[in-house]
Amino acid sequence: MTLVLVLGDIHIPQRAADIPAKFRKLLVPGKIDKILCTGNLTDRATLEYLRSITPEVYIVRGEFDDKAQNYPVSHRLMEEGLCIGLINGHYMVPAHGDVDTLAATARQMNVDVLVTGSTHRFEAYEEQGRFFINPGSVTGAFSPVEADPIPSFVLMEMKIGQDVVAYVYQLVNDEVIVDRIEYRKS
């Protein structure tokens, strides 16, 4: 089993001061195997914080990331028999999490799970036999697309045999709410 932290749209310090303290208490070194970041990781201190949780950090470029960081636009990796695609999605047309556009991207990337960002809104669903996850914004950073973003991230438990259990963490009224979503590759 592999535990993967999925987060993004961080925007520190431009749109948010920090990752909420109640989230930081949960994200401790030694428990998480990998981190997938959907981009907009706009400061070095947050990158170092993520690397303190686990050295295996994969980041794709968001529209506000410094091009000098040289993050790729997309990334593919295999985990426990599943192919995972990682993108930000700000460049897609139509943008903002359009289901058909994301499904076409997943087919083009030939992935079982597509992780995307840019909307600052958590979403998880199955479409055309593939699993789609947008972790939202871990800081709840302002977005012109999402009027009142809820801080959120996802922990994916990847199991041998092509199973994913996604635990969604959202900070609602200063309380951490956790939901569970399951996906099994058919």
Q: What is the pLDDT of residue 93?
A: 59
Residue 75: name the closest of 31, 38, 45 by CA.
38
**Measured distance CA(110)–CA(108) in Å, rounded:** 5
**For residue 63, what are its two tokens?**
């529209």
Question: pLDDT digit of tens for each residue in the chain (186 aa)?
Answer: 999 999 999 999 988 989 999 999 999 899 999 999 999 988 889 999 999 999 999 999 988 888 778 899 999 999 988 999 999 977 665 667 678 889 999 999 999 999 999 889 999 999 999 999 999 999 999 888 788 899 999 999 998 877 899 999 999 999 999 999 999 987
Q: What is the pLDDT of residue 115?
A: 96
- CA-to-CA dists, residue 92 to 8, 78, 119, 133, 176, angstroms: 17, 24, 12, 16, 31
**For residue 17, what are its two tokens?**
């001061």
Question: Left, alpha or beta for 67 (phi > 0: left; psi -120 to 50: alpha)?
Answer: alpha
Q: What is the pLDDT of residue 94?
A: 61
**Terminal CA-to-CA distance of the chain, rounded, Å?**
19
**Measured distance CA(97)–CA(65) in Å, rounded:** 19
Q: What is the pLDDT of residue 64?
A: 82
Question: Left, alpha or beta for 89 (phi > 0: left; psi -120 to 50: alpha)?
Answer: left
Q: What is the pLDDT of residue 89?
A: 79
**Measured distance CA(152)–CA(139) in Å, rounded:** 7
Q: What is the pLDDT of residue 80?
A: 87
Q: What is the pLDDT of residue 34?
A: 97
**Measured distance CA(179)–CA(155) in Å, rounded:** 10
**For residue 107, what are its two tokens?**
């087919």
Alpha helices in the chain (DSSP H): 21-24, 44-53, 99-109
Q: What is the pLDDT of residue 143?
A: 86
pTM recorded for the entire structure:
0.94
Do residues 138 and 149 touch, judged by C-beta distance below 8 A?
no
